[in-house]
Amino acid sequence: MSNLQPKPNYAVRLRGITKRFPGVLANDHVDLDVYPGQILALLGENGAGKSTLMNVLAGMYHPDEGQIIIADRPVRFRSPRDAIEHGIGMVHQHFMLVESITVVENVMLGLHHLTLPTERVRQEIITLSQAYGMQVDPDAYVWQLSVGEQQRVEILKLLYRGADVLILDEPTAVLTPQESAELSKTLRRMATEGKAIIFITHKLDEVMTFADQVTVLREGHVVATLPIEATSKEELARLMVGREVLFRLHKDVCQPGAVGLELEGVCALNDKGLPALHNVSFHICHGEILGIAGVAGNGQRELAEVITGLRPVTKGRIRVGEQDITNQSPRAIIEAGVSHIPGDRSHVGLVLNLPVSDNLAMKAYRNPPLARGPLLKQNALHRFARQLVESFRIVTPNITTPTRLLSGGNQQKVVLAREITAGRGVLIAVYPSRGLDVGATESVRRTLLEQRGSGAAILLISEDLDELTGLSDRIAVMFDGRIMGIVRPEKVTPEEIGLMMAGESREPAISQEVGS
């Protein structure tokens, strides 16, 4: 009789994984099996424990209880290096690349064999990129690459290190539709060769397209694991949030009022002193949503910052109504009626060490009923905060919890609640639903339409084409800091928008008048 043990059919197995943070039980005895050749989608509300669970699997966090099992043996990862040595790697939503060095040098960073010949590594990268259809120039500096190309580098790093289990956190959040389709083909090719793929996403269409199986987490527990052919978007949304979710909200016919925000020939520089905005011109009427489509890094951040006073304008004019706010201070622009949902919530929108209640009240603390003269009324502030926590479904142990202890998605909800509540005419919403679960996304979109209905002029910057086409009255597409065209969503296809996002101009663009 042979003494050889049969090889387990799973790639990795999690048993009883529990992870706690102060005041939060992020994972509560979670079991998960991942198989070779499988693409597994991981779904759940913000704060459900998805990213925490994957960070445990990738060696970023140590579990408080439970086991990671590979080849029928429990393993303990002290670091991501330990995880990758066991064939497990993670591509984070915010890439871990050094922009000032080349692709080859990024791939070599952290390798044990620092004496490997660079040319040998270069050739191996070329071979890998060709094998998986991920073309990238190994000699290019990372700062020269598009966001999609940078993502390919992150995946190639893991493949070069021999990863058999690849974890991708929100992998399509920064890609064009064409790049997303290419990524889908790449993942399927990897799965065909026996790789196990886990991806975290909030886009249910992608779950149905990409995945073989889906696991749903809610409040740190696994509530369901289903094969894709046995489920639907509606069922998955219901499992995530415990209620029915509307995927297409009713939008009333636009009734535009006076111009609320206008840009004329606006130019600005990026953080490196290079041109970031080139003669950007558009206007938004009260009662209208103008969407901005584009791959991240094409001037959207600089556009939001020049409007809100966080970046100087080098040429051109910005007006709110009849008031010129060009190069005014952020406080003056707030007082002019502009609210701002920033793209980088944790660094710009929040004071992380302050309680949730204080962050929610930052734009209301001087107003009755929260204040009496120079003094804050704590009871009124707490009532105000509890109301917003309930309305925006913010998951927090209590309103006095330091905001830094909330999940990333719930930190976003704090900013959204404050800025939308404080709105006074013009709202700059930068990726307002990025990283939010399907229930929270529905709530945010409904609120934006309500603000539109109450007369707000809304600039919506988003990478989600479904969001842009569903909410916007017009869509301006940006590439390399320029407006490639302004289109009506009902008169253009996602593929046409994708081409414009990649730099193909659509001229003449339709008239900027909403009613035309």
Question: How confident is the model over 346-367, as pLDDT tens digits?
Answer: 567 889 999 999 999 988 877 7
Question: How confident is the model over 178-196, as pLDDT tens digits?
Answer: 778 888 899 999 999 999 9
CATH of 12-241, one of 3.40.50.300, 1.10.150.120, 3.20.20.70, 3.20.20.140: 3.40.50.300
Burial of 243 (0-12, 13-18, 19+ CB in 10 A): exposed
Q: How confident is the model at residue 27 (pLDDT cuts 50, 70, 90)?
A: very high
Task: Determine how β-strand 65-70 pairs with β-strand 73-75.
Answer: antiparallel
Q: How many angstroms separate the CA atoms of 383 and 300, rounded?
A: 36
| Overall pTM > 0.75 | no
Across 464-472, average pLDDT: 89
Both tokens assigned to 240: 């995530």
Report whether pLDDT(114) > 70. Answer: no
Residue 197, φ and ψ in degrees, nearest 5:
-120, 130
Residue 48, pLDDT score: 83
Domains 12-241 and 259-337+423-501 equal at CATH topology level: yes
User: Is 438 in contact with 237 (CB distance < 8 Å)?
Assistant: yes
Q: What is the CATH number of domain 259-337+423-501?
A: 3.40.50.300
Report whether pLDDT(515) > 50. Answer: no
Give DSSP secondary structure letters for 178-211.
Answer: HHHHHHHHHHHHHHHTT-EEEEE-S-HHHHHHH-
Residue 494, φ and ψ in degrees, nearest 5:
-55, -35
Per-domain boundaries in the chain? 12-241, 259-337+423-501
List of residues 6+ apart from 466 with CB closer than 8 A: 205
Both tokens assigned to 371: 């204040």
Report whether pLDDT(108) > 60. Answer: yes
Helix/strand/coil percentages in the chain, nearest 5: 35, 25, 40
Q: Nearest-CA neighbor of 459 among 445, 476, 443?
A: 476
Which residues are bridge partners to 402 per DSSP?
355
Angstrom CA distances, 422 to 29, 127, 157, 386, 490, stand at: 40, 54, 44, 16, 31
Question: How confident is the model over 273-314, as pLDDT tens digits?
Answer: 999 999 999 999 999 999 999 887 899 999 999 999 999 999
Better-scored residue on pLDDT, 170 or 385: 385
Residue 276, pLDDT score: 95
Both tokens assigned to 163: 């990863």
Average pLDDT for the chain = 87
Q: How many angstroms separate the CA atoms of 219 and 202, rounded?
A: 16
Both tokens assigned to 464: 């989600």
Report whether pLDDT(242) > 60. Answer: yes
